[in-house]
Structure 1
């Protein structure tokens, strides 16, 4: 059952799995995606290993608080970031990290294993650096340190990611078609793309909240978060980095950089894995996490 916590003057929607007395695992979602992308089967499988799982919607996704800001084009995003000053309603990934900590406070959880995917992996790094007394371990999946010297997302991929989608309520068929096309485009090539499962996840999101996730607010949040080598340098908890060799959003060099920058970290490079966490990889990912 889903619950809502009022923290930091906003509401954060969350759901838990397993027994609360077990070690806690906080699952942090990526850019513009709801907590449902940490699928129920993944959460349930992790819970059976003896953990208490918390998944939640970052602000501007799912059923958490949304900003009033609406963008009509990607150019408006660049104009906002060009000001180089964070003014409400905008925020950085440091603010999203604080949201996560306040959610743990709400749940009265003092220490937690952190698993973050994509943008959530960056948030996880900030938490492990700035709130290290709260973190038992860190697992970073398909993410980056934001180091600007690394190979960047290609303009083609970025354009697809930021392109406006057809309205789900008025043009559901083309909305789903566009979502499927992008998800398949960034996915692994060695495993079958489960189109029906993807459609079910899209529909689940809109059954929870008919409002589309405000992805471009997250683009701004990343843009307002400068690269800081001290973040990775100060991480001391056991750390696992999982990355695909054909990730089109963060090329594998991002994983190598994280591995080099975080002392005593472990690296799992998965051949033919894209920017996705396929259900056929759940067991391996969870096994490697447990080994930390």
Structure 2
């Protein structure tokens, strides 16, 4: 069941899985994505590894606050960004406050990994462990391929059916070539995402926030919590160099790469992800 709370001056929608007595685990999703992109089955796997899981919609996504009054940035650059990743970090910290969590194990994918990294830097006392998935310490470290950039800059779909078709074509390019795409799951998630909060201008504002944010490489050297970096070796949007750079920047970080994995979370790898995250959080608690 979706719950909404006030945090950092906005409303954030979230859902929980597992027992409140288990290790707190917060999932942060990526650019233009919603909490439903953390599939329920995957969340249940994480809960089964001893976690109380929370997934949520970032600002400008899904059922959280959309900052429509801020307008649409003029370009893909960060010059007209109405907010930065730091504001999204503050949203996340505010959500922890609303949940009554002093700290949590934080997992972020893509832009969510950037937010999670920045949270470990700026709010180290709130982060018990960090898992950075298919992310990068800076947007210039691992630029996307031409094909991935074309997907990123594609015009928004005019209606629900077009949104589903666009999602299928998008993940044909950005998805995992080593794993068959679950077209039914992709179509279902895309349709639900359209219904929950289709907002291309919101995605543009998130992209501007990424582009306006500086490189985190030097600051990541100060992170002392246990860190796991997961990345696909076939990622076209944030190539594996981004994951390598993240792990190299953080003392003691563990890097695990997956052949055939692109810029998504293929379901055959969910048990591997859940096991690795569970081992990290359990060791961090000890």
TM over 0.5: yes
Separation (CA, whole Å) in 1 of partners of 2:163 and 2:246: 35
Unmatched 5+ stretches in structure 1: none
Aligned with residue 78 of structure 2, among 73, 78, 81: 81
Separation (CA, whole Å) in 2 of partners of 1:233 and 1:221: 23
- The answer to whether 1:162 aligns with 2:159 is no
Could you tell me the TM-score, scaled by structure 2's length?
0.92
Once the 2 structures are TM-superposed, how far is the Cα of residue 158 of structure 1 from its aligned partner?
1.6
Could you tell me the TM-score, scaled by structure 1's length?
0.91
Separation (CA, whole Å) in 2 of partners of 1:19 and 1:176: 34
1:131-178 Cα deviation digits (max 9, x unpaired): 111111111110000063x3411343223212222222xxx3332111
Counterpart in 1 of 2:277?
Answer: 289
Once the 2 structures are TM-superposed, how far is the Cα of residue 30 of structure 1 from its aligned partner?
0.3
Task: For 1:26-45, list aligned pairs within 5 A.
Answer: 26-45=26-45
Give every structure 1 segment of 4 or more consecutive aligned residues whose post-TM-superposition deviation is greater than 3 Å: 209-213
- The answer to whether 1:267 aligns with 2:275 is no
- The answer to whether 1:257 aligns with 2:257 is no
Change (3 A) 1:213 1:55: farther
Separation (CA, whole Å) in 1 of partners of 2:268 and 2:230: 15
- The answer to whether 1:153 aligns with 2:151 is no
- Give the stretch that moved more between structures: 29-38 or 174-183: 174-183
Separation (CA, whole Å) in 2 of partners of 1:256 and 1:91: 28
Task: For 1:177-256, list aligned pairs within 5 A.
Answer: 177-209=165-197, 211=199, 214-256=202-244
2:139, 2:210 within 8 Å by CA — same for their partners in 1? no
Once the 2 structures are TM-superposed, how far is the Cα of residue 49 of structure 1 from its aligned partner?
1.7
Aligned with residue 95 of structure 2, among 99, 103, 107: 103
Separation (CA, whole Å) in 2 of partners of 1:82 and 1:131: 26
